[in-house]
Amino acid sequence: MSSFENLAAGLCLAIVSSIVAVGCSSDSSPYVDPRSVVGPEEVPETKRIRRLTADQFFASLYVATGQQWDDEEQFAATLGRPDFAEVTAEGREMSVGFAKLAGDAARQTCRRAVQQDRGIADPESRVILRKINDVDQLDPFDPNVDENLRYLALRFLGVYAIDDEDRRLQPWRTILHDGLTDVDDARLSEGEDRWIAVCTGLALHPDFLTY
């Protein structure tokens, strides 16, 4: 056998053995991000649900609660307001930054709104507690709780609930009543915080933050 034939045989052996080895090897499975529960956007741009822009969010919060967030200007760019120099598109991602800052904004404005309402005798002048009888002793079991929740659902979400048993009101009723009874003394001390939580929840609801 000539040296050339020997070389050819050696190379063939090497190539075949390499191909066999490739066939036998198994690549590690691709990494799957456990947070990846939402797939790529497939809905046409014009039909997508859109997050409020930074300025729409500030304005909506002001209209709904009657209060302005102190840190609007500080965080406007972080919430997606363009500067029209480098950034010309509104940021609309439901990012961690948006969720965190929207939560901070909602808590501050709702706290102020509820506390302000407690000092207003005329119910029609109140923003959050408009249907509540007694705002001095803010009782989560006030007889008009359901009427006030229906009013707030309309105010924040545009949901016109005609029935107190409407299931869209249930989460907010749960915030007010969970762990308390209508004879529990603690209910009066927690009333304000629970109404603030209801207001905050409505301001962070997907229907409030999107259109």
Partner 1 sequence: MSKKTELPHLSRRALLQGMLGGAATYALWPIRPLLAQDAAGHRFVACFLDGGWDVLLAGDPRDPAGSYEGIDLGLNLLAAEFADPFPVSMGGTEQLWGPTMRALQPHADLATFFRGINMNTVSHETAKSYSHTGRQPAGALARGDSIGTVAAAVHDNGTLLPNAAISIPSYNRAFDNRFSAIRMNDPREIRDLIGATQGALPEGVEDLLHKALEDAYSCVSPAYSGRLPEDELHISRDRIKRLQQQDVVARFDFNAETAEMDEIRALYPLDNGSGRATATAAQLLLTDLSAAVTTRVRGGYDTHGVEWANDQPQRLVEAFEAIGAMLTHLRNDDPSFERTTVLVYSEFARTPKINGDGGRDHWFADTMMVFGSTLKKGVFGASNEQDLGILALDPVTGRPDEGGIQLRPEHVMATLVQSLGGDPSPYREDPLTAWIEKELTP
Interaction between residue 206 and partner 1 (CB under 8 A): yes
Interaction between residue 143 and partner 1 (CB under 8 A): no
Q: Rounded CA gap, 57 and 203, in Å?
A: 10
Smaller CB distance to partner 1: residue 44 or 121? 44
**Do 168 and 184 form a contact (C-beta atoms < 8 A)?**
no
Q: Rounded CA gap, 37 and 53, in Å?
A: 24
Interaction between residue 111 and partner 1 (CB under 8 A): yes
Smaller CB distance to partner 1: residue 70 or 125? 70
Q: Using CB under 8 A, which of 59, 120, 188, 197 touches partner 1?
A: 197
Q: Rounded CA gap, 4 and 80, in Å?
A: 69
Interaction between residue 77 and partner 1 (CB under 8 A): yes
Which ranges of 38-179 does DSSP label H, i.e. alpha helix?
A: 54-65, 72-75, 96-117, 145-157, 170-177
Smaller CB distance to partner 1: residue 98 or 132? 98
- Specify the stretch interacting with partner 1 by CB under 8 A; choose among 40-48, 59-67, 114-122, 123-131: 40-48
Binders of partner 1 in range 8-27 (CB under 8 A): 10-11, 13-15, 17-18, 20-22, 24-25, 27
State the helix-helix crossing angle for 54-65 and 96-117, rounded to 10 degrees.
20
Count of residues that interact with partner 1, criterion CB under 8 A: 80
49-68 footprint of partner 1 as x/- string (CB under 8 A): x-x-----------------
Interaction between residue 193 and partner 1 (CB under 8 A): yes
What contacts 195, CB < 8 A, 6 or more positions away?
114, 128, 129, 138, 140, 176
Smaller CB distance to partner 1: residue 34 or 119? 34
- Shortest distance in whole angstroms from residue 18 CB to partner 1: 5
Encode burial over 78-103: b for 16+ CB neighbours within 10 A, e otherwise: ebbbeeeeeeeebbbeeeeebeebbe
Interaction between residue 39 and partner 1 (CB under 8 A): yes
